Amino acid sequence: MNKLESLRALMRSRDWDAVVLTGSDPHGSEYIPERYKQIRFLSGYGGEASGLVVTTDEAGLWTDTRYLIEARHALEGSGITLHPQKRLGCEDLARWLGEQRDLTRIAVDALTTSAGFADALQQAVGEECEVVGVPELLAPLWPDCPELPQTPLFTVDSREGRRAKLDFLRDFCRTRHCDALLLGALDEVAWTLDVRASDIEYNPYVISYLLVSANEAVWYVLKDSVADPGSEDALERIAADGVRIEDYSAAQLLADDLPEGKRLFCCPRSLNVALRDALRNAGVEIVAGETPVAARKAVKTEDEIEAMQRAHLLDGIAMEKFLFKLEKALDAGQEVSERDAALWLGALRAQSEEYLSDSFETISAYGPSAALPHYVTPERDAPLLRQEGLYLCDSGGQYLCGTTDITRTVPLGECSQQEKEDYTLVLKGHIALADAVFPEGTPGCRIDALAREPLWKAHRNFGHGTGHGVGFLLGVHEGPQDLRQDLNPTPLQAGMVLSDEPGLYREGQHGVRHENLLLCVSDGESDFGAWLRFEPLTLCHFDCSALLVELLDEAEIRWLNAYQERVYTTLSPYLSEAESLWLRTKTAPLQD
């Protein structure tokens, strides 16, 4: 009996008409521990941003345009229908279930389903259908499910410090007339307590909750078995700042730690159904809303900006050494696979004493592989690189001084006219956004089109967002700001860091993406108000050998020449003589 049929047998025994899995964890995370990769366990598909529905006679997986090609291959022959997702989250999945007839009982995993989604699902299916939360829903089918990870802790210094951040949250509680605030999002807990670990792959998070009330703060964390002196020191530092430390499992009983009144503020996206139900049963009044942490940490302090500039210097050195090594290896006739290239880059980043890990799994993709925006490079039998066409490498690092994210599309030799056009049009879009000036208060959705216009004029487009926020030694994806067509009203502010990554993908042929991280900065004031612009943080040249220079205007050439010169001037002192000479040729000025 396959896994889907085993699940359906379980459904029949429990009188469930459908099971819904949201691809998340108890904290509403994007990147999740192995223990909660339930969709991959059932379907074989492991991409993010997905949801799975299994009924008695149908099964469907919803995912967005970044993953459609990968999902199509993974689901082939599985009996699971692929549904392209039009909106972020699982709204389309809920709407589909609402259109089904004769559903009276839908089960969701109470730990991995957010309270917000459960409420949206209940609204979609109506009162006639019951949505029930079942903790560890797949446990009968998955007896060898992995344990939760526990990795060593360390603390980071911040200008504000833990006590000030906790007081900031207490002030917020008072304005909302709440007795306490619960942080469930792992990045928000890490930022507030200035603590990091590696419980989530590529993300320096600690699996935990933080409860903040007027008189105390309680940190629910699973760290009993970490025999590490650094962890003990970190726990002592946090406790010394007035934080009581409890076991992670005690979070299910946190109602006991609430003061009288029991009015609790929390975000429904990071509050799971199991914890919500436990709080309700204890008589806690839940006030739902966005916590103030995301908006606060999105605006980097001067110290964080300075540190992130150093992180990008270290990353730029590794990138240029990598691209030099790759080109010389191919020139020498060496056999290099996509996997080889990814491992080389990781090893070069690791030469820095400040390097901790990659910030996500490196996307090392050649030719048709690059047409998959979130391609997973095979560990075995990865495609070989050849001295023709385009190679795309999307990667990043977690350093003690910050988080990086960069994509370079590299011409490995002769390119077709179409490859050159796509390469140039995407770079034009990248430059248009990087060179933008806009009024203070402008949200990212209003300038997203700048990066798309050169492609639109040629009747080309890309299906993903143009940019996302990036944390300071936190997640490579963070909000609330972004650059995409969705109507996100969050205004861009000086101090925010965003990616600039337009792309273009031709299935079975090639893909192009050019990505830098940008720092939003002030551009002064005029009679018409205050203005903002961007400064590139990323330091790595763009290879101009595939550019159709005649498609660039004077302003674009001027921007590109200035950027290339900045890359050379900044990085060449840290490179070998051969690498520096090579970089000089790569950054030679273009002529108008």
What's the one-letter identity of residue 162? R
Residue ranges of E strands in 453-540: 467-469, 478-483, 497-500, 503-506, 510-513, 516-526, 529-536
Residue 76 in 3-state DSSP? Answer: coil
Cβ neighbours around 84 below 10 Å, total: 13
Q: Which CATH class is domain 3-134?
A: alpha beta
CATH of 299-586, one of 3.40.720.10, 3.90.230.10, 3.90.1180.10, 3.40.50.300: 3.90.230.10
Domains 3-134 and 299-586 alike in fold: no
Residue ranges of E strands in 76-165: 81-84, 105-109, 130-134, 154-155
8 Å CB contact between 82 and 72:
yes
Buried b (16+ CB within 10 A) or exposed e, 244-281: eebebeebeebbebbeeebbbbbbbbbbbbbbbbbbee
Give the pLDDT of the chain (592 residues) as one tens digit per residue: 588 899 999 999 999 999 999 889 999 998 999 999 998 898 877 766 678 899 998 888 888 666 666 767 766 666 788 787 655 556 688 888 888 878 899 999 999 999 999 999 999 999 899 999 999 999 999 999 999 999 999 999 888 899 999 999 999 999 999 999 999 999 999 999 999 999 999 999 999 999 999 989 999 998 876 667 778 889 999 999 999 999 999 988 888 888 666 899 999 999 999 999 999 998 899 999 999 999 999 999 999 999 999 999 999 999 999 999 999 999 999 999 999 999 999 999 999 999 999 999 999 999 999 998 888 899 999 999 999 999 999 999 999 999 999 999 999 999 999 999 999 999 999 999 999 999 999 999 999 999 999 999 999 999 899 999 999 999 999 999 999 998 999 999 999 999 999 999 999 999 999 999 999 999 999 999 999 999 999 999 999 999 999 999 999 999 999 999 999 999 999 999 999 999 999 999 998 6
Provide the whole-model pTM: 0.93
Domain definitions of the chain by residue range? 3-134, 154-296, 299-586
Domain 154-296 falls in which CATH fold?
Creatine Amidinohydrolase; Chain A, domain 1 (3.40.350)
What pairs with residue 331 in β-bridges? Answer: none
Element (H, E) at 323: helix 302-331
